[in-house]
Amino acid sequence: MGGSGLRRRRLRQSGHLPRQVRPDGDDRPGQQRAGAGLRAGPGGQALPPQRLEDHRHRAQPRRGGPDARGRSGAGRGGRRRHRHQARGRRGRRADGVRALSQHRERAGAGAGRVGARHRPGRTVLHHHAPRQHRDAPQRALLALAQPPPLRADALPQVAGGPGRVRRAAGHARPERHRRALRPQHVDPVPGAVAARPSHRDLRGERAARGRLPPQPLRAGRRRLPDAPSPAGLLQRVRLHRHQGRAVTAGLITGGQPEAGCEGWRFGTKAETLDRLGPLITEAQVPPLRYFQVRRWRQEREQVLDELLAAAWADAPLIVRSSTLHEDDPDHGQAGRYDSISGVRGRAALARAVDEVIDSYGRSEPVDDLGAHQVLVQPQVEPVRLSGVMFTCDPNTRAPYLVINYEESGDSAAVTSGSAVPTTTFYGWKESRRPLADARLERLAVLAREIEAVTGHDCLDIEFAFDHDGTLHLLQVRPLPVAPLEAGQAQELQHALQACYDKVAGAVAHPTLLGGRAVYGVMPDWNPAEIIGVRPRPLALSLYRRLITDQVWADQRHRYGYRDVRGCPLMVDFMGLPYIDVRASFNSLVPADLPEHLAGRLVDFYLDRLAENPALHDKVEFAVVHSCYTFSTPDQVRERLGERFGADERQALVDSLRRLTNALLDPRHPARRQDQDALAELERRWDVVKSAGVEPVAEARWLLEDCGRLGTPAFAGFARLGFIAVELLRSLVAAGVFSERDVDQLMAGLDTVTNRMAHDQNRLEPGEFLRVYGHLRPGTYDIRSPRYDEAPELYFDWPQTRGAHPGEPGAPFRADAGQLRAVEELIRAHGLQVGAEDLVDFITTNIAARENSKFLFTRHLSEVLTRVQALGAKAGLDVDECSYLDIRVLEELYQGAGVPQSVVAAAAASGQAAYRQTQQLMFPPLITEPGELLAFHYPPSEPNYITHKTVTGPVEAAEGATSLEGKILLLPSGDPGFDWIFSHRIAGFVTQYGGANSHMAIRAHQFDVPAVIGAGEGLFQRLQRASLVRLDCANRRADVIR
């Protein structure tokens, strides 16, 4: 027996420490008494058993190690010091004995042993619980509460900064306790400190171990610590139960099912809210009553009496559905049933209950409705902000917090998919970056609290803020998603860290002007439109090889812009393509502009885009000045007036004028070079196809010619086409041409699109496909079939061939008055071109941009066909081929590896890497590293559900007769359109709705590709189409015809 135990026994034998006697006369030690461990709480109520640490083990310093004061207890000297210290404390021990006696008298029938813990100058009372009550579930939950690797600049962060621990006076944290709770990992963000438990977490932990008496819950909102302590949550549950407060008790049902952190389970909507109400601190659950349909049918008036007897029954009520399967992820009935709001009075309440029950009959047999429930609550009003929060990305289960919210005051706007504009926020859950919006930070803390209580990390949570800023919890249910594979979360964390470091380290640059790095998916060569935001590795590598590595910079340099050769235009963050906006802006500055002015311009452009992120898809129209038009002087003065002097503005205008005059001259060397390159490209086609080389060599040379001749010429004509469009727009702004004139000009252009529309009905199918068969909707996507591979997919051939639809529109001719007006503008602005030549420049180069693409894509399409055949020999289908990198073609051409092995290994590697590409989510415009961790998605950006690709005929859902295989158009994401899922539809598009709307949830559940909230422009464009392709992984909706 240890020394302290021996002293206690001697004190009892001498009468100085009386034996503990329970009211029932049982004076056995606590370990021998059945049911020991409960003690008296306020009012004599029994408090729950606590996890206590053995007193003997706490009181004795470890032999051979430091004691509480850091002194060694080893050896004779150490033992002598301990004896001396014990003697010095004996005088204080008597005070402790008297305090113990007084405490027993006050406590009365206190269960468990009471001991004294002596410290210099004070005595601390503590209770002992039997060992058998130190239950294992607490240990497991405590381990679950330890946070994964976190960083200080991530979301959400408790006030006081990361790692700061708030301690109550008189409660010092022992060093051994700090060692036990401190996360043992390296923080992923530079300069960060690992999040530590707050004082309240430590207090909950100590209370569970017996170091501190448990405290009753205090009223009012308290701030949740960084990592909610399951020990504290267990303590809270037990306190509620043993103080007579129900953890799960429906007033009208009268039931009290077992629940809590140890054995949490979801129930119906009402049951889940009722169980969560006493356990959460960051939000409040509105008061609720719920009852079974069976009881409503049998005791209707009594139920109404009980409902209206509630203190809150005079306020407007909401009657909500709460069926047995509504929130069950295996059944997926969420949003199917009615909820009636704004209910007042007995008659209205009865009608509302009947309406809700009637809605159950839509999908459940009427005779089986008795066990379903109806939930009644006071309506939250007025609402300031409301929405839905996912605690993981429902598409990929990546650990993102996805909050879709609106501020119109309609608490059902988000879930109903109405026309109310909504905002979508993404936040990496493992981050601790503080959020600018305190409301979002509170939601993030609430999400983590509910996850800790339920043990689920993929939840669908509905919420609302009222006018006082009170956060109300309206619904919680698990999301029907599969778990991440082992180690996948850590891989994503490392991938995100690498992207963060890349953006953070890109500020300085040895070649480019500008003091900041900005990345976007839409500026300049616009990868989001051309290859998508999540292209497969083959498409991404082809786009790099043919455009963004070198071709783009060579073209800009040849046309008179700054030399940025050697700087790639496009970077990728784990497969997500982004344009280096700083490189793009450098390449659009005239080469003859002074260096200091060029640098200031680039900084100004970058700042303007960062301050107006909505301009990211129109940088050359609203941010950068890259050519001279009749509107340029006014635009420069308007945009640059506050930051640049008159001389600097004039220098820019003069430089742009010189550059544009040079390019208007048809004898410009670069223009002639591009025309010659296209002629050489056509000649090389015949040479390579007739050479009789093996397929790998043929594909390699076709690709080489495409990148050396085809895409450089296409890049040049694309630049000229942009200048032509800008000049045309400035003529419209000057009143020379009307919008009708522009339509006539475009209709009369000799473009591939116009010729193909004419030839489709004029030529026989075979002849038509010989001319246009190499085209494919996804130019760089091997999964997109060529026209000649699946003509029935793209064309509805007329029954009778030879019907001539008429010649293409006649070329546009400006009248004499318009030409005079153009001539006057030319003289006033100092352009060196005639009026007719300017109109000819506009029409020729708009058409040349499209025609040059038609020529180089023949080579590119043939390369993809050869790669597909190469993959087939290795046992790969076309989808697996899309994971290849085009560099494998050069590897096979230059090396002697076995083609099948090389191709199969490359496809497997690309497919593994693409998993991370699918799961990471970044904003369309990145202006600083923190936006990789938390950002708002632009409101105009549609929400793409699943990562599938589907092509099908498009039709409005309302009035459609046959829906199988079709892509349906819905005006909103209202649950009333649930009937479409009873048909085998290919996909659907809604004009309005958010990522968390009802139809988005249903699309996730049925794994149906969908575009939610397409917006007015895209929706109207799809309405005019007959065949549409939805590429949800790449966030694209393309009109095929």
Q: Which residues does the annotation mark as catalytic?
A: 998
More confident residue, 342 or 2: 342
In which band, very low, low, confident or very high, does the pLDDT at 740 lie, cut at 50, 70 and 90?
Answer: confident
In which band, very low, low, confident or very high, does the pLDDT at 249 lie, cut at 50, 70 and 90?
Answer: very low
pLDDT at residue 61 in the model? 41
Q: What are phi and psi of 1037, to 5 degrees?
A: -130, 105
**Residue-wise pLDDT tens digits, 541-567:** 999 999 999 999 999 999 999 999 999
Per the CB < 8 A criterion, the answer to whether 200 and 181 are in contact is: no
| Helix/strand/coil for 560 | coil
DSSP label at residue 392: S
Sheet of strand 925-926, all strands in order from the earlier edge strand to the far edge: 570-573, 576-580, 519-520, 925-926
**Does residue 417 register a pLDDT over 60?**
no
**Encoding tokens for residue 340?**
């009636």
Mean pLDDT of 782-800: 79
Q: How many helices and strands, by DSSP H and E, does the chain display?
A: 36, 25
In which band, very low, low, confident or very high, does the pLDDT at 939 lie, cut at 50, 70 and 90?
Answer: low
Report cis status (omega within 30 of 0) of the bond before 378. no
More confident residue, 230 or 693: 693
pLDDT at residue 702 in the model? 97
**Where do the H-state alpha helices sit in 243-330?**
269-276, 293-298, 300-308
CA distance 1 to 55: 12
Sheet of strand 289-292, all strands in order from the earlier edge strand to the far edge: 289-292, 373-378, 317-322, 340-343
CA distance 215 to 942: 49
Compute how many other C-beta atoms are within 10 angstroms of the C-beta atom of residue 895: 10
In which band, very low, low, confident or very high, does the pLDDT at 465 lie, cut at 50, 70 and 90?
Answer: very high
**Residue-wise pLDDT tens digits, 834-870:** 999 999 999 999 989 888 999 999 999 999 999 999 9
**Encoding tokens for residue 983?**
């048909």
**Does residue 627 register a pLDDT over 60?**
yes
In which band, very low, low, confident or very high, does the pLDDT at 71 lie, cut at 50, 70 and 90?
Answer: very low
Per the CB < 8 A criterion, the answer to whether 379 and 342 are in contact is: yes
CA distance 13 to 999: 76
CA distance 981 to 855: 43
Mean pLDDT of 617-627: 90
CA distance 228 to 212: 18
Mean pLDDT of 988-1000: 71
Q: What are phi and psi of 993, to 5 degrees?
A: 130, 160
Mean pLDDT of 739-745: 84
Please provide the DSSP assignment of 965-1008 as one string: TPEEEESS--GGGGGGGGS--SEEEESS--TTSHHHHHHHHHT-
Sheet of strand 1036-1039, all strands in order from the earlier edge strand to the far edge: 943-945, 1010-1012, 987-990, 967-970, 949-956, 1027-1031, 1036-1039
Per the CB < 8 A criterion, the answer to whether 945 and 1012 are in contact is: yes
CA distance 288 to 378: 7
**Burial letters 667-676, b for 16+ CB under 10 A, else e:** ebebbeebbe
DSSP label at residue 283: S
**Encoding tokens for residue 203?**
């207090």
Lowest mean pLDDT among 105-109, 517-521, 772-776: 105-109
**Does residue 994 register a pLDDT over 90?**
no
Distances (CA, A) of 809 to 750, 751, 759, 817: 9, 11, 14, 22
**Residue-wise pLDDT tens digits, 193-240:** 233 333 334 334 433 433 333 333 223 333 333 434 444 554 554 444
> What's at 701, amino acid-wise?
W
CA distance 313 to 264: 30
CA distance 236 to 352: 36
Compute how many other C-beta atoms are within 10 angstroms of the C-beta atom of residue 139: 13
Select from 835, 838, 837, 839 the least CA-distant residue to 823. 835
Select from 192, 196, 201, 199 the least CA-distant residue to 154. 192
CA distance 457 to 447: 9
**Encoding tokens for residue 146?**
């330890």
Lowest mean pLDDT among 367-381, 461-475, 680-694, 869-883: 367-381
Instruction: Work out whether the CA dihedral 513, 516, 521, 523 comes out positive or negative.
Output: negative
pLDDT at residue 338 in the model? 87
**Burial letters 58-69, b for 16+ CB under 10 A, else e:** bebbeeeeeeee
